[in-house]
Structure 1
Amino acid sequence: MEKQQELISFSGEDLQNLVQKISRDFFEGLPYIKTTFKHSAYFNNRLRTTAGRYFINQGNIELNPKYYEKYGLEGLISTIKHELAHYHLHQMGLPYKHRDKEFIALVKIVNAPMHAKPMRQYKYVYTCSTCGVSFHRMKKINTNKYRCGKCKGTITLKETV
């Protein structure tokens, strides 16, 4: 699932340069994109559940360093492309939200993901002994009390992560 690779230590300036390079390489020259990235991009250690976010009022992009540690440079670049899609559309006065067709089209053009890979690691994996469906849980459950929601079969603890 995760690739073990050498992580590059990014200073604030290195990250800013990477975001500007991705903006130039993937967004410059597209028909309706007429801006380059002129705001700040930085890591925020307090982010827990999101890979990155674009601030509409300031125009800045925040990125999660733990997401980078888990998924490497490839995960970081895909997050930057996603946030830059929000940025460029908003700067041009176009619809920039996830549900907007312009955003969906731009994300497909630059090959950015619509959603980030999950950050959460589940501790327990349960399986149904009848139909084989797997359940991922953070908390341990009483297998005598609960049944499979699909077929009502018995649930067994498969593995502990």
Structure 2
Amino acid sequence: MAWQVIKRIFGNAMPWLLAALLGFAVYQYMRADTLTAERDAAQERVDRELARSAALQSALDWHRKQEVLINRVLSEREDALGAIASDMAAQRQSLNTLERNNAETRDWAAQPVPDSVARWVRQLGADAGADRDDAERAAAPADTAAAANRGNG
């Protein structure tokens, strides 16, 4: 009798339980499908970001190499400028010694500089920062006769 009661309860509920089980299975399948699509999309984003990261790392490495190169070149430039400054100081010291010890040189150095030579020297200073050849910057002054007269005076 107890067996018949159980059979009657489950016999009437069995179609409902099967329908609920089938609905739950469909829900779980759809949920798994959605989660799989989200996982695939996330994996694609990860792959895309990894490729982007590699490209950015490559660009960063190039910039670092350029920075090292620029620092080395600037250091070499500073060394060269220091050597030039030392050489100029030595040349000026030699000129000052020559002017003090040699009367003819002292008289020549006391003469006024021709305007064309002064303009030429100023132009050399202005062009020093420009991207021109040294030969172009060192062109002869316009008034070469005045410069020649100074050398004879």
Query: Which TM-score bucket, shorter chain as reference?
Result: under 0.3
Higher strand content, 1 or 2: 1
Higher relative contact order (CA 8 A, sep 6+): 1
Higher helix content, 1 or 2: 2
Q: TM-score if structure 1 supplies the norm length?
A: 0.21
Structure number, greater radius of gyration: 2
Q: TM-score if structure 2 supplies the norm length?
A: 0.22
